[in-house]
Amino acid sequence: MLKQIQKKPNMNMLIFKCLQMALLLVFTSRYTIAEKTQHPKRTYIIHMDKFNMPTSFNDHLQWYDSSLKSVSESAEMLYTYKHVAHGFSTRLTTQEAELLTKQPGILSVIPEVRYELHTTRTPEFLGLEKTTTLLVSYGKQSEVIVGVIDTGVWPELKSFDDTKLGPVPSSWKGECETGKNFNSSNCNKKLVGARFFAKGYEAAFGPIDETAESKSPRDDDGHGSHTSTTAAGSAVAGASLFGFASGTSKGMATQARVATYKACWLGGCFTSDIVAGIDKAIEDGVNILSMSIGGNLMDYYEDTVAMGTFAAMEHGILVSSSAGNGGPSQATLANVAPWITTVGAGTLDRDFPAYITLGNGKRYNGVSLYDGKLPPDSPLPLVYAANVSQDSSGNLCTTDSLIPSKVSGKIVICDRGGNPRVEKSLVVKLAGGIGMILANNQDYGEELVADSYLLPAGALGEKASNEVKKYVFSAPNPTAKIVFGGTELGVQPSPVVAAFSSRGPNTLTPKILKPDLIAPGVNILAGWTGKVGPTGLSVDTRHVSFNIISGTSMSCPHVSGLSALLKGAHPEWTPAAIRSALMTTSYRTYKDGQTIKDVATGTPATPFDYGAGHVDPVAALDPGLVYDASVDDYLSFLCALKYTSFQIKLVARREFTCDKRIKYRVEDLNYPSFAVPFDTASGIRGGSQKTSTVQYKRVLTNVGTPSTYKVSVSSQSPLVKIMVEPQTLSFKELYEKKGYTVTFTSHSMPSGTTSFAHLEWSDGKHKVTSPIAFSWT
């Protein structure tokens, strides 16, 4: 999601309106259209019924073309899809789209939607140094290919150096596509493939302005270079951003290969391009797909990306996606399909301090990546932006909102939110200010995100911000001084859940807990584009090879790279097995036993914030047992959602009829976590029975040596009785499967109540731990 994490109420409203429109415009053969007026053309993704091609056609392309021509003489196919859908995308008017739905063999005509991009010490923080010896004995990591759907790459980065790598895996079928500022010599044994997908984008916005962005895999934004080098960049000694976070920069899987699929452009990413990227990635032979992008939630059979990732999962590809930057509000998740690994964000133990001292002598600790000329060493006049602006949103330091005569020579306090944080520093600078304090409100709490501001500036948490403002409003001549402290390591507590990290519960499928886990996503150093400076602002002419940015966009590729490590160590594991290993071995407490905190509140976080916990790759290499899941399990899941055969065909591109004799249940999907929503009303039957009982079934697969596991349950709350049957599971062989049942008996609780517990299988050596999240609705 956006690299500059911002709340954008107006933008959200806009997206919401677009989504409402999009939902209205989804025509499947079950929907009729209310709107009859002429609309301009837009892009639709058309799913055809593979198994019911009229016999009058010899080939599918001919069939597609004929169906299309029957509603529009002029329409041309943008893409034809092979794996993610059986079908194509094209531009149509509303009427044409409606007509097309009525043609024989058309399953659905879905309007495309726009997605947004949701950033070296990480390996040490994760304990990856310890895995070196473990991994040498396996050594298949270099066979693993991580596909990244993003803004492309900057191939000249040292992070793509391939000198220590062997030949490209023979299974690789991808290509290095040529385009503006990019040709086949930009790929090598590290960057093994690079493609771009611009047809949907150009159909919507017109031809790409090649003076602004390259119509090629080249990254003009920075986001894609950052995510791909985080996942699998080579080690680069002496990396830093202006000396901040200096050290060796390396991806999670330094020997894995990278293939970039550029589907995101300066104006966003369109689903017709995204799924074209997924389609090619499947064909090319990637093993892991990293997608730090997201849109709004919609039913899986209307969500083209959910369908595309289902196809990827079928091909054994693990798809890792960002959970979104909608936190700390509840129920803000993106990418919740159970065949996707959904990653939230936590902090590292690293900080970039900026000390702000007020005229009253009080000092506050903030953060900053400012690296320019230092401000005068004397206290400077301090003003609050709202007091030196005529604009109603002047407190946010929006463009042109400050009155230069009232700002000149002063430090300005700007509230966080609205426009990008670094843009605020530019607005202050242009108005003649010589410093900025970025003030958190309650939305951001104590979360500090460091930025490479364009003038001396520091970010403060909510408490300090309130005190600084109180001082400005009361002192006759308020002043402040900003001093910068470089890079600080060993900051505790860490990790804490980032305020921006999107939170559960999962509103689309409440019985599946999301996010799945968290990984580092705050102030992450990784590779950057040569096209724009670290702030991404056009006035920022600085050039850097590494940048420090934040978001669930940055935590997602950590998990993608770690999945590549696991895939290299255990090539036979399914995507579900890899995810299970990452989840059941993740941790939820600090060394002192305290639960990981939520920086937004300062209180202990819950599984709705961190899922199974914070990733621990060393433990994940040897999980003991995994909760595996196959395509059949996901088909049963779709049956449990009461999807019709028609809807299942849309998601899974196959004829599948749910067996009427089977009682399919979402709670039986073999997931490594438990989300248990209780209906407040259903617990009270006839006024007498005040408890409600639900059962969840799970199956464990042994991926270790023969062993006997015993179950234990830690409940932090007396609200629910948890019973597991059987209590002991003995595994004699590798890949042996054993099932168990958990029974949850709850008292009726007021709506809105939540409670949490953990269930753990242990043989004394391994701990296979699952979070349980109860909620009463």
Ligand X SMILES: *[C@@H]1O[C@H](CO)[C@@H](O)[C@H](O)[C@H]1NC(C)=O
| Beta carbon of residue 416, minimum distance to ligand X (angstroms, whole number) | 16
185 vs 390, which CB is nearer to ligand X? 185
CA distance 394 to 400: 9
Look up 184 and say whether it is catalytic: no
Q: What tokens does 364 get?
A: 């506050």
3-state helix, strand, coil in the chain (%, to 5): 25, 30, 45
CA distance 695 to 714: 18
CA distance 350 to 523: 8
Q: Which among 255, 268, 263, 266 is positioned nearest to 290, based on CA atoms? A: 263
Which of the following is catalytic: 234, 401, 425, 553?
Answer: 553
Buried b (16+ CB within 10 A) or exposed e, 676-704: bbbebeebeeeeeeeebebebebbbbbbb
Q: Which among 42, 590, 56, 61 is positioned nearest to 346, based on CA atoms? A: 590
Q: Please report where in the chains the tokens 């843009």 appear, as a residue.
A: 423
415 vs 516, which CB is nearer to ligand X? 415
Look up 371 and say whether it is catalytic: no
What is the per-residue binding string for ligand X in 380-399, x denoting contact by CB under 6 A?
Answer: ----x-xx------------
Cα separations (Å) of 577 from 317, 506, 580, 620, 671? 12, 22, 5, 10, 10
| Beta carbon of residue 186, minimum distance to ligand X (angstroms, whole number) | 7
C-beta contacts of 180-186 below 8 A and 24+ residues apart: 180/210, 180/214, 180/215, 180/216, 180/218, 181/214, 181/216, 181/218, 182/155, 182/214, 182/216, 182/217, 182/218, 186/155, 186/156, 186/217, 186/218
Which of the following is catalytic: 150, 279, 598, 668?
Answer: 150
Which of the following is catalytic: 47, 86, 118, 223?
Answer: 223
Look up 223 and say whether it is catalytic: yes
155 vs 683, which CB is nearer to ligand X? 155
CA distance 756 to 667: 17
Q: Which among 74, 80, 90, 77 is positioned nearest to 42, based on CA atoms? A: 90
Q: Which among 306, 743, 735 is positioned nearest to 508, based on CA atoms? A: 306
- Beta strand ranges found along 624-753 (DSSP E): 625-626, 674-678, 691-702, 707-715, 720-725, 728-731, 737-747
Q: Are 480 and 356 in contact (CB under 8 A)?
A: yes
DSSP symbols for 682-708: TT-BTTTB-EEEEEEEEEEEE-SSSEE
- Beta strand ranges found along 156-278 (DSSP E): 191-196, 236-241, 244-249, 257-262, 264-265, 268-270
290 vs 389, which CB is nearer to ligand X? 389
Near ligand X in 167-186, by CB under 6 A:
183-185
Phi, psi angles (nearest 5°) of residue 638: -65, -35
What is the per-residue binding string for ligand X in 459-498, x denoting contact by CB under 6 A?
Answer: --------------x-------------------------
Q: Are 223 and 148 in contact (CB under 8 A)?
A: no
Q: Would you please indicate which residues are annotated as catalytic (active-site) residues?
A: 150, 223, 553
Site residues, ligand X (CB under 6 A): 183-185, 384, 386-387, 473
